[in-house]
Chain A
Amino acid sequence: MNRRAKFSHFGIFVLPALVLICVFVLYPCLRTISLSFFSGGKLTFSNYVDVLKSRDVVNPQGFSRGEFPLGALFDNLIWIVIHLPLTILLGLILAVYLRNVKGGSIIKSIIFLGMVMPMITGGVMIRFIFDKDIGVVNAFLKLFGFVPKTWTAYPETALFSLIFGSIWLWTGFSMILYAAGLETIPKDLYEAAQLDGASRTRMFFSITIPLLKPITIVVVTMTLLWELKIFDIVYVATMGGPGGASNVLALQMYIYAFKGLDFGKSSVVAVFITLFTLMVSIPMARSAGERR
């Protein structure tokens, strides 16, 4: 390969994409970082101080009292702590359970539907199912004697309603990925293990789970990214309320930028989100770079 050919390969095939990415993704990204460090025309940390003092992102008062609002950052973290393990487990269990079921693909499609729809609709659905008068959750709970209320309107339950609703939406993703992964495990591994007298549980833990590890990495990464970036659902279901009890970082960024017109503070929040998402993506990026 001569040098001219190398550069023309680069130029024709790769350059257009790189140019667009640099102009419309990389440059704005760097600009946001710089915006976060400027206030009143001067290089300063004041935006960071303002955001951390403002109780929107972190609310120490909420912690000392043990009640919502706790601040957008912690709402995202709580989302992760509840949503991540549950969707992964549920997805794996469903993938295994629905494997050879008659009409299983229809059931899987139903479960996957939550991923296919726009998240704005997802937010509407969540608001809908937790409503006092017409929501299914209350109808179900009424059977057990609970007094119905709109779960998304109360500070103690707003965030949790959103999280559990989002589990219903997102489980399809992990299930589909695990289902595909299960297909790739060679049957003879199981047959050999059975001949050795291994129980089904034993086989599950020693064969299935380790071999699904690459998929698990992907599911965990994608799910974490989704949980950190969540916006549409909260915007339409509760708008962060009541009293900021269900606020999330992406929504707070939007409020600072487009309601408060304070681009310094909004950039700080954007930088926070990105720090987390970059940390989360490093494992996956490393394995991507390893591939030839």
Chain B
Amino acid sequence: MFKKVIVLALCILLVVPVLGFAKLTVIGPWAGAEKEGFMPVLQAFTKKTGIEVEYRIYRFEDLVTMLPAQFSAKKTPGDLIFMSGTEWMVKNAKHLADLSDVINEGEFVPGTLVSKVNGKLLAGTFTGKIKPGFWYRKSFFGKYGLTVPNTWDEFVTLLQKIKMIPGIKAPIASGDGTGWPLSDVTEHFLITFGGPSLQKDLIAGNIKWESYTVKSIFEKLVFLLKSGYFSEPTEWTTILKQWWNGDYALYFMGSWITGMVDDPNDLGVFALPGCKGMVFSPDYFNVPIYSKHLEDAKKLAGFLAGREGQTISASLGGHIATNIGVPADVYPPVDREVAELLKGVQSLPDLDDTVGGEFQPAFWDQLKLLWVRPGRLDDVLQVLDEKMR
């Protein structure tokens, strides 16, 4: 009798971990400080549901190469994977689970939830980062009596004024990561002067880079480049320090800059006057159908897209919620301002991330050329058209 009890107890002990303590694997591209901003969300989920979650880092470009092979073998390296680009999602539609039952479409900022494929919602939306415009130090502007411009002419005048300030190397700092933020600035110009629809048309390939519309917008950018208002492309974290120290006045950057400076409250940002759209890059995630814990993974999906998960992420700073249920007061002060900027403008996808493929490195490479040789605009546009397949 006693033996039977022991055996039963052992069986329960063996089965319970499998049932109740399922471990989900989440795959994301963040490391270091960014990762630290994500872990509390996962921890809150575990606290709420008892489901353990493990996080692993993979770069997006490595996943693009690796996932097709895994999917064709009906396997997946993660139960929930953060992947970018709707193109990828559409191509892999048959491998992804439908999330319509855990995500409520009405809760989201328009344009941030992906379109359904064959009636199925294949990706969920987490918080994201926006690329609002040119950042400046309020103290710097105050010191030299500068004000935020309201028209294009005021913007150019502002740049002229800044250029004359002693000690300034160039009014606008040009960061060079692997090609962005040059691409971010360029997209900002396209959106401002071509309207949000231009960004979408370019992504879809409905309009050529060499067209009159696009070219005339680029010519505004070239005008600024030739006038010496932009610096030479420099490693983006180095130039961040130099900008903070006063070598440059303006720096076009994404909202994650708030986590990278000593005094975020000294930060101010403005978009080009007349800009009606903003690149908002939410972090999208999918749940492959090959997950061994499909129901739990879907629960996590619902949590991340839902008010709870997004609130935690927003409160940690540097992230903007896509879920409208997240109240404005959870944001740290600077991020609140940034979130405000999103109101009243259309949120748009990042152009080179969405197109991807051979176009993306070519886009970055051509912009690096344009920045040092603005006179070669025609060549640059020609190559961009060639690389858009």
Contacts and interface: CB of A to CB of B under 8 A. Distances in A.
B311 interface: no
Interface in A213-258: 239-245, 255-256, 258
Contacts of A108: none
B153 interface: no
Interface in B337-375: 357-358, 360-362, 365-366, 368-373
Given A55-B386, A153-B233, A243 B360 contact: no
A54 interface: yes
B220 interface: no
B154 interface: no
A102 B65 CA distance: 55
Contact of A244 (B61, B232, B365, B372): B365
Main secondary structure of the interface of B (DSSP, over half): helix
Interface stretch (A11-19, A259-267, A280-288): A259-267
A77 B211 CA distance: 35
Contacts of A241: 365, 368-369
A155 B367 CA distance: 12
A258 B65 contact: yes
B232 to A, nearest CB: 7
A260 B373 contact: no
A16 to B, nearest CB: 29
Chain B interface size, as a band, is: 20 to 34
Nearest to A262: B358
A132 B242 CA distance: 15
A259 B366 contact: no
Contact of A243 (B61, B65, B358, B383): B383
Nearest to A67: B376
A243 B386 contact: no
A243 B361 contact: no
Nearest to A153: B372
A55 B382 CA distance: 11
A258 B360 CA distance: 12
Interface string B57-96: 0000100110000000000000000000000000000000
B379 interface: yes
A243 B232 contact: no
A258 B61 CA distance: 9
A149 B178 CA distance: 19
Contacts of B376: 155, 243
A138 interface: no
Given A242-B365, A242-B372, A243-B376, A256 B358 contact: yes
B358 A260 contact: yes
Contacts, number: 59
Contacts of A256: 358
A153 B357 contact: no
B380 interface: yes
Contacts of B370: 243
Given A55-B386, A243-B379, A259 B361 contact: yes
B357 A155 contact: no
Interface in B129-150: none
B379 A259 contact: no
Q: B61, B233, B369, B386: which has the most chain A beta carbons within 10 Å? A: B369
Nearest to B368: A242
Given A243-B366, A262-B358, A154 B373 contact: yes
A85 B322 CA distance: 61
Contact of A245 (B65, B178, B357, B369): B369
Contacts of A154: 372-373
A171 interface: no
Contacts of A132: 232
A155 B372 contact: yes
A54 B64 CA distance: 24
A255 B361 contact: yes
A260 B372 contact: no
A240 B368 contact: no
Interface string B169-205: 0000000001000000000000000000000000000
Interface in A90-144: 132
Contact of A239 (B232, B358, B361, B372): B361
A240 B369 contact: no
B69 to A, nearest CB: 12
B360 A259 contact: yes
Identify the interface centre among B357, B366, B368, B376: most chain A CB within 10 Å of its CB. B368
A261 B64 CA distance: 10
Contact of A259 (B358, B371, B372): B358
Contacts of A239: 178, 361, 365
Residue of A150, A240, A241 with most partner-chain B CB within 10 A = A241
Contacts of B371: 242
Nearest to B361: A259
A282 B365 CA distance: 37
B333 to A, nearest CB: 35
B369 A242 contact: yes
Contacts of A155: 369, 372-373, 376
Contacts of B65: 258
Q: Which residue among A55, A61, A244, A260 has the maximum number of chain B CB atoms within 10 Å of its CB?
A: A260
Interface of A: 54-55, 61, 132, 149-150, 153-155, 239-245, 255-256, 258-262
Closest 3 CB pairs of A and B: A243-B369, A260-B358, A242-B369
12 contacts: A61-B379, A153-B372, A239-B365, A241-B369, A242-B369, A242-B372, A243-B366, A243-B370, A244-B362, A244-B365, A244-B383, A255-B361
Given A241-B368, A259-B360, 17 more contacts: A55-B383, A132-B232, A150-B232, A153-B368, A154-B372, A155-B376, A240-B365, A242-B371, A242-B372, A243-B376, A243-B380, A244-B383, A255-B358, A256-B358, A259-B357, A260-B357, A260-B358
Interface of B: 61, 64-65, 178, 232-233, 357-358, 360-362, 365-366, 368-373, 376, 379-380, 383, 386
